[in-house]
């Protein structure tokens, strides 16, 4: 995996494909770049695709400082390094990061994809407590809420192991970052085309969160994916990939 340096720490990312616009994928709490595996494989056939491990996740070491702010710095560093027209796609906490970036915004940001996220991401107190006191129970609680009922257990196992690999400190830092995030009153400032994607059965960021984004971001579009929960990109990968591909095609 290639790297760039951010505040004297290496930041790892996966990269594939050619073509514009590029897509930069940002994972959610406790995750890493591999949650976007299906999207990277398929979209690399037509576009340049990049997916990073935020600091403290995957192969990227953690940095000091406020979690959300350092994650925004990570994304801005990648955007600046590649300096090509880019669609920024974020899932859950990654969506909060993407929204924060879009409110700046970098000159090469040409589109925004918000997947299973919201303008405000208040975390259930039980999750925050368990992240500090009983990591395994925290993981199991998150898994129980993150997927639709009919989801293949193997997909849940992969998500479970991913959170375990990243560890307790990362998961708590992530959910704390989510819990303090609130940009509900600034959505009208977003100026790039936006696609909002949500699983119909999402329990962590329900459809009403996505509807609020669509209603308050100028000219945003909403796509609800059936038979999917919060982890919509792994539960219904082909549907999510198709929506993103069609969205990018309209930007050309």
Per-residue pLDDT, 105: 86
Per-residue pLDDT, 132: 96
Angstrom distance (rounded) from CA 17 to CA 112: 19
Contacts 24+ apart (CB under 8 A), 152-158: 155/231, 155/234, 155/235, 158/234
Per-residue pLDDT, 187: 98
Per-residue pLDDT, 83: 85
The residues that bridge with 196 in the sheet, in sequence order, are 114, 222
Both tokens of 228, joined, read 């999917």
Per-residue pLDDT, 54: 98
State the number of CA atoms in the 13 A half-sphere of 176 facing the CB.
14
Per-residue pLDDT, 65: 87
Per-residue pLDDT, 252: 76
Q: What residue ranges of the chain have pLDDT lower than 70?
A: none
Per-residue pLDDT, 136: 97
Say if residue 133 is exposed, middle or buried (CB neighbours under 10 Å; 0-12, 13-18, 19+).
Answer: exposed
In the CATH hierarchy, which fold is given to the domain comprising 3-251?
Rossmann fold (3.40.50)
Angstrom distance (rounded) from CA 213 to CA 198: 11
Q: 22-26 and 49-52 as β-strands: parallel, antiparallel, unpaired?
A: parallel
């Amino acid at each position: 995996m290639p790297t760039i340096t951010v505040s004297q720490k290496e930041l790892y990312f996966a990269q594939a494909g050619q073509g514009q616009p590029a897509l930069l994928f940002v994972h959610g709490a406790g995750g890493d770049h591999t949650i976007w595996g299906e999207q990277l494989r398929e979209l690399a056939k037509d576009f340049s695709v990049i997916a990073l491990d935020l600091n403290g996740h995957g192969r990227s070491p953690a940095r000091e400082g406020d979690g959300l702010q350092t994650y925004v710095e990570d994304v801005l560093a990648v955007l600046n390094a590649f300096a090509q027209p880019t669609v920024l796609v974020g899932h859950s906490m990654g969506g909060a990061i993407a929204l924060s970036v879009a409110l700046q915004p970098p000159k090469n940001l040409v589109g925004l994809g918000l997947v299973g996220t919201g303008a405000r991401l208040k975390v259930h107190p039980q999750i925050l407590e368990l992240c500090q006191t009983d990591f395994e129970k925290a993981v199991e609680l998150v898994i129980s809420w993150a997927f639709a009922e009919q989801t293949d257990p193997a997909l849940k196992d992969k998500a479970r192991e991913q959170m375990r690999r990243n560890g307790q400190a990362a998961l708590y830092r992530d959910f704390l970052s989510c819990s303090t995030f609130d940009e509900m009153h600034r959505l009208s400032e977003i100026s790039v085309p936006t696609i909002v994607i949500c699983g119909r059965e999402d329990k962590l960021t329900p459809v009403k969160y996505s509807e609020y984004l669509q209603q308050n971001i100028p000219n945003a579009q909403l796509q609800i994916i059936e038979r999917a929960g919060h982890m919509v990109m792994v539960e219904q990968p082909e549907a999510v990939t198709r929506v993103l591909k069609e969205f990018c095609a309209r930007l050309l």
